[in-house]
Amino acid sequence: MYRIPLRQILFQAHKQVMLQSEAFCVESFCYPQHIAALKISNSRGYIEILPFVGQMIWDVQFDDISLRMKNMFASPKPAKVIVDTYGCFAFHSGLLTAGCPSALDTHPLHGEFPCAQMDRAWLEITETQIRIISEYEYVQGFGYHYLARPSVSLTKNATAIEITMEVTNLSHHQAMPLIYMCHMNYAYVENGLMQQNIPNNAFCLRQSIPAHVKPTSEWQAFNEAILAGEIDSQTLNYPHCYDPEIVYFADNLTQYGDHLTFTLNNPANNVTFFTQFSTQEFPHATRWILNNPDQQVAAFVLPATARPEGYLAAEQTGTLQWLAPQQTQSFHVLTGIKE
């Protein structure tokens, strides 16, 4: 295995080929305002990653099909909160807090990590796989202290990627709270069919209304129809009803087995997006659907340690996790186009 450190000097306004083989091509470049980006291509497509900004996965395409939601951002923007640069395919929500803060919460939307400035990043390369790893040390006097190590792996000829997050509590004496969601913003698929190897009724409609959602009478009527069982919640055939967003929760996923698979099939071309994960790592899942002229997303599954309703809600429901001093927790997600 070869290891290549990534430094800011490697990222310029024009694309530069860092390495090339029969299986891969790695290019570095900068978006405006000096946001470093790395494009890793194989024979089927590419992934584009921001190695120093939360290790966001900005874009993913395989077989000329974009996996990313339609959004309003032509390029990533310098930001401290995720809504100021909400154009990526995936980001890491967490880690001390996460989700949509309630009126009593004091944390930013989706926590402190999504836009965190990484301390270092590097590539690990073999003949069959390229993995990009970033590291971020969070430390506050009289506060928490952790090391986060997100990574993304692309394999030769593959149409899927592995997303991982490893968190270590660096404190020698105090436990730290942990809430994490792998937030994948998949493209909206007209008449798409969402399926999974858990019962359809495992998903329940979100009852709370976060601050960024502005209900309309039509939206409220649609929610009531869902609750009454009049809507097929597995099929994306109500395009004018997903604005504001429609959100479902699935809890206690360990009751359905150790490994789950969720899919979104496009009937127009029979392409199927999929996501796989362990319920031991992710006991909760969220489904997020939004469709309007500016933003179109069908996040058919967002695996998480808790519902994305803020820190206090996780604390109150007993789903807030804690890492003991020097303890490490790891998370793994496989996602992409099903072959």
Stated as kind and residue range, the H or E segment containing 151 is strand 145-155
> Alpha-carbon distance 88 to 189, whole Å?
17
Decide if 197 contacts 260 (C-beta within 8 A).
yes
Q: 310 Cβ partners below 8 Å, 6+ apart?
A: 97, 98, 99, 100, 101, 102, 105, 107
Q: Can you list the alpha helix ranges (DSSP code H) found in 96-200?
A: none
DSSP 13: S
Contacts of 170 (CB under 8 A, 6+ apart): 137, 139, 145, 146, 147, 326
How many other C-beta atoms can be found within 10 angstroms of the C-beta atom of residue 1? 8
CB atoms within 10 A of CB 289: 23
Distance (Å, whole) CA 150 – CA 135:
7
**pLDDT tens-digit readout, 77-87:** 999 999 999 99
Residues facing residue 68 across a β-bridge: 186
Percent share of the chain, pLDDT over 70:
100
- State the pTM of this model: 0.97
Q: Tens digit of pLDDT per residue, the chain (339 long)?
A: 899 999 998 999 999 999 999 999 999 999 999 999 999 999 999 999 999 999 999 999 999 999 999 999 999 999 999 999 999 999 999 999 999 999 999 999 999 999 999 999 999 999 999 999 999 999 999 999 999 999 999 999 999 999 999 999 999 999 999 999 999 999 999 999 999 999 999 999 998 888 888 899 999 999 999 999 999 999 999 999 999 999 999 999 999 999 999 999 999 999 999 999 999 999 999 999 999 999 999 999 999 999 999 999 999 999 999 999 999 999 999 999 999
Strand order across the beta sheet in which 145-155 lies: 2-6, 120-125, 129-139, 145-155, 160-169, 328-337, 271-278, 259-266, 193-196
User: In this structure, what are the phi and psi dihedrals at residue 112, rounded to the nearest 5 degrees?
Assistant: -90, -15
